[in-house]
């Protein structure tokens, strides 16, 4: 089932073959002081699974937080108070290479058989969640300004805007695994496009 839907989205791809390094990057805290996003948004696309050094008041932290790679954000398990948080690691320079209309995000999970053949359930197969989750983005029309269709099968950053005015959006690293090529008179490709998300989709209130 789609968790959310909207009108417009953007596709961002790497502009260099390699990543760049940043150290002691300043962060901006959320109102509740649980989320600390790198302040320099040009360095917010962190390669999925890369090592990020998180410091509170200059001391390296190893537990008590999670990393949102697609947003360049550290999410702490418990709210901080007045600590200064800095981050370091690698980021991928990206630029917009296309976009899409009428999108929907779908979450899914895998179910595995847990049938135990007890008398109370004889003849009925039972299942349990395997703990594997995934997301996908489908859009009905798209445009390509930077050759992102040529990147089918490669990593791109996908942003699905809930509100263009405020910048609120969902974002995630993804692989484009379906892109048709029929083009109409408006220069939009009137075919569906689909992205499989690598890791979770992340929500941001602003750009």
Given the structure tokens 């029309």, which residue do they identify? Answer: 141
Q: Are residues 65 and 120 in the same domain?
A: no
Q: Are residues 111 and 176 in the same domain?
A: yes
**With 50 as the cut, is the pLDDT of residue 146 above it?**
yes
pLDDT interval class at 185 (50, 70, 90):
very low
DSSP 183: B
Given the structure tokens 């930077």, which residue do they identify? Answer: 146
Q: Are residues 162 and 88 in the same domain?
A: no
Q: Are residues 113 and 180 in the same domain?
A: yes
Q: Are residues 104 and 187 in the same domain?
A: yes
Instruction: Indicate the number of domains in the chain.
Output: 2
Contact (CB, 8 A) for 206 and 166: yes
Given the structure tokens 């990543």, which residue do they identify? Answer: 19
For 143-152, what is the mean pLDDT? 78
Q: Are residues 111 and 168 in the same domain?
A: yes
pLDDT interval class at 25 (50, 70, 90):
very high
Q: Are residues 132 and 182 in the same domain?
A: yes
Question: Which of 92, 114, 145 is at the close of a domain?
Answer: 92
Domain span at residue 53? Answer: 19-92
Q: What is the pLDDT of residues 26-65, one digit of tens each?
A: 999 999 999 999 999 999 999 999 999 999 999 999 999 9
């Amino acid at each position: 089932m789609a968790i959310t839907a909207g009108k417009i989205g953007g596709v961002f791809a790497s502009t260099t073959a390699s990543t760049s390094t940043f150290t002691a990057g300043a962060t901006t805290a959320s109102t509740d002081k649980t989320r600390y996003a790198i302040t320099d948004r040009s360095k917010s696309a962190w390669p999925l699974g890369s090592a990020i050094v998180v410091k509170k008041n200059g001391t390296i932290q190893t537990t008590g937080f999670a990393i949102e790679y697609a947003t360049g954000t550290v999410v702490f398990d418990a709210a901080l108070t007045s600590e200064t948080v800095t981050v370091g690691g690698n980021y991928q320079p990206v630029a917009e290479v296309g976009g899409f209309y009428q999108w929907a995000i779908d979450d899914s999970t895998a179910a595995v058989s847990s049938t135990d053949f007890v008398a109370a359930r004889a003849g009925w197969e039972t299942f349990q969640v395997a703990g594997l989750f995934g997301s996908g983005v489908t859009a009905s029309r798209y445009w390509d300004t930077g050759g992102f269709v040529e990147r089918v099968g490669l990593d791109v950053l996908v942003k699905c805007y809930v509100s263009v005015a405020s910048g609120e959006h969902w974002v995630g690293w993804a692989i484009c695994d379906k892109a048709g090529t029929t083009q109409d008179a408006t220069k939009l490709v009137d075919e569906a496009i689909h992205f499989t998300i690598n890791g979770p989709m992340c929500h941001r209130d602003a750009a």
